[in-house]
């Protein structure tokens, strides 16, 4: 029995080494603890709210039951907020699959989530907070033309004059004006003239006097194309690609935002799944890249996501309670609220922690005086493990060590002193096991640094 166990540990070690090298050199997907797709970023205040669809871990085809939320204030460290809405929030839909590409906007203090349910039109949910709970105000689809299955991938935009529009469709692009209440329509559904290379997934925005419509270009493989217009309802002129067709991925779905003076294009790929296997399954991941414009308003074409650079915007504050599910990289880990063999937790926590895995938080600003100590909240059922607090590399300066004993799955706080934690560093929480336990070491809930 020892040899298979050794082989498994070897495979895991090799996989982690590949993943570590990938995230250091390449612009890898933003989320590694779940499979995410169909990015719908929205900027409100100083925060990016990134809503995504969710491919299940065992998906072969499209297996999608709910919608997730991640937030960031620096573009590289993302906090997981888990499921914010699901198919169960639509009582009129009795199926258990089909939670496709959503879009979320805020208006007058309310948050509106437009959710296509494959084959059953586009529903809408409303909440008082970007985190939910989202409720169905209609009890029926907002748009559902039952003669076809084209009603997917909504994109909603509120123009400078207060008029709101929703765009959607595959293989045609449709548009309808939304009423002030954002849950009813005004006028007839318009069918846009066919845009060259358009497949699906329209994403609408405005910059200056130009309106833009990005989209997943003709399959397969898809790229991210775009068109421009002087009017929110067209006519649209195809301008090329934000990212060209590439065999390095199969599908795409764009989301475009301006954040802190820079523009970003989000899309999807299979790059996390490719760390495990070369075979195909619908287990996708969201990536992002900085996007720039030419003087005439057209967009400079980007290389594939992996080859782009995504720089941190601002630094990360460690002197507060930081949820452990906030990370720039955490391949191999999972996040949940309920461990099958443990207690329910009010917030998400990091689990499936194995020997050699780690959480990376980029650009942590400890300040000139630095940090004196660090406290973590963890729980363990069996032998537990150790957290090595390292700087700038998984094998970098060991600033502190925290041993996590058996807590009988009760969350307890543990503290370590820190050394050399001044200025700005990438912070690594490196997890170590023992001879008795190398997998599922403990659960990690939150951490906080304290100043000198």
pLDDT tier at 337, thresholds 50, 70, 90: confident
358 inside domain: yes
Q: Is residue 343 domain-shared with residue 406, that is, in the same domain?
A: yes
For 179-214, the pLDDT digits (tens) are 999 999 999 999 999 999 999 999 999 999 999 999
7 inside domain: no
For 102-138, the pLDDT digits (tens) are 999 999 999 999 999 998 999 999 999 999 999 999 9
Q: Is residue 91 domain-shared with residue 234, that is, in the same domain?
A: yes
CA distances from 89 to 117, 132, 274 (A): 12, 11, 33
What integer is the mean pLDDT of 83-102? 97
6 inside domain: no
Total domains in the chain come to 2
Q: Is residue 67 domain-shared with residue 201, that is, in the same domain?
A: yes
Q: Is residue 383 domain-shared with residue 241, that is, in the same domain?
A: no
Question: In this structure, what CATH number is given to the domain that contains residue 300?
Answer: 2.115.10.20
Share of residues in the chain with pLDDT > 70 (%):
93
* Adjacent-strand bridge partners of 400: 389
436 inside domain: yes
Of 290, 225, 281, nearest to 253 by C-alpha is: 225
**CA pair distance 290, 298, nearest whole angstrom:** 15
Q: Is the pLDDT of residue 143 over 50?
A: yes
- The set of residues, in sequence order, having a beta carbon less than 8 Å from that of 249 and lying 6+ positions away, is 221, 222, 268, 269, 270, 271, 304
CA distances from 18 to 35, 331, 379, 389 (A): 18, 10, 29, 21
Return phi, psi of residue 15, to 5°.
Answer: -60, -40
User: Can you give the pLDDT at residue 219?
Assistant: 85
Q: Is residue 173 domain-shared with residue 273, that is, in the same domain?
A: yes
Return phi, psi of residue 267, to 5°.
Answer: -155, -165
Q: Is residue 155 domain-shared with residue 57, that is, in the same domain?
A: yes
314 inside domain: no
Of 278, 307, 336, which one is at a domain's C-terminal end?
Answer: 307
Structural domain of 441: 322-451
381 inside domain: yes
Tokens of 433: 């096991």
């Amino acid at each position: 029995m020892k040899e298979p166990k050794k082989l498994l540990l070897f495979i895991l070690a090799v996989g982690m080494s590949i993943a570590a090298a990938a995230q250091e050199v390449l612009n890898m997907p933003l989320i590694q603890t779940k499979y995410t797709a169909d990015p719908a970023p929205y900027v409100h205040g100083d925060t990016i709210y990134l809503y995504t669809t969710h491919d299940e871990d065992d998906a072969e085809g499209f297996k999608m039951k709910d919608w997730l939320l991640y937030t960031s204030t620096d573009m590289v460290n993302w906090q997981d907020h888990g499921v914010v809405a699901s198919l169960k929030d639509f009582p009129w839909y009795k199926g258990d699959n089909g939670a496709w590409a959503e879009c979320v906007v805020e208006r007058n203090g309310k948050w509106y989530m437009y959710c296509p349910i494959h084959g059953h039109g586009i529903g809408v949910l409303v909440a008082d907070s970007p985190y939910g709970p989202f409720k169905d105000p209609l009890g029926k689809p907002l748009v559902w033309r039952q003669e076809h299955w084209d009603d997917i991938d909504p994109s909603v935009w509120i123009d400078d004059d207060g008029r709101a529009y929703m765009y959607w469709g595959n293989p045609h692009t449709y548009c309808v004006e939304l009423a002030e209440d954002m849950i009813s329509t005004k006028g007839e559904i318009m069918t846009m003239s066919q845009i060259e290379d358009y497949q699906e997934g329209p994403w609408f925005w405005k910059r200056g006097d130009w309106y833009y419509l990005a989209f997943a270009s003709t399959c397969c493989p898809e790229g991210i194309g775009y068109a421009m217009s002087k009017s929110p309802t067209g006519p649209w002129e195809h301008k090329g690609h934000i990212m060209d067709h590439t065999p390095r991925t199969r599908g795409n779905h764009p989301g475009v935002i301006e954040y802190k003076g820079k523009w970003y294009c989000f899309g999807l790929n299979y790059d996390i799944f490719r760390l495990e296997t070369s075979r195909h399954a619908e287990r996708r991941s969201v990536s992002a890249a900085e996007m720039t414009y030419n003087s005439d308003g057209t967009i400079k074409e980007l290389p594939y996501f992996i080859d782009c650079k995504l720089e941190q915007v601002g630094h990360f504050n460690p002197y507060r309670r930081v949820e452990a599910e906030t990370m720039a990289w955490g391949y191999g880990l999972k996040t949940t609220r309920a461990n099958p063999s443990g207690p329910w937790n009010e917030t998400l926590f990091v689990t499936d922690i194995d020997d050699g895995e780690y959480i990376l938080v980029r650009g942590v600003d400890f300040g000139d005086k630095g940090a004196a100590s660090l406290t973590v909240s963890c729980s363990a059922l069996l032998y537990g493990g150790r957290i090595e607090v390292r700087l700038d590399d998984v094998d970098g300066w060991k600033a502190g060590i925290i041993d996590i004993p058996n807590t009988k799955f009760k969350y307890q706080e543990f503290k370590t002193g820190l050394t050399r934690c001044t200025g700005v560093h990438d912070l690594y929480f490196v997890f170590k096991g023992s001879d008795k336990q190398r997998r599922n070491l403990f659960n990690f809930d939150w951490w906080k640094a304290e100043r000198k």
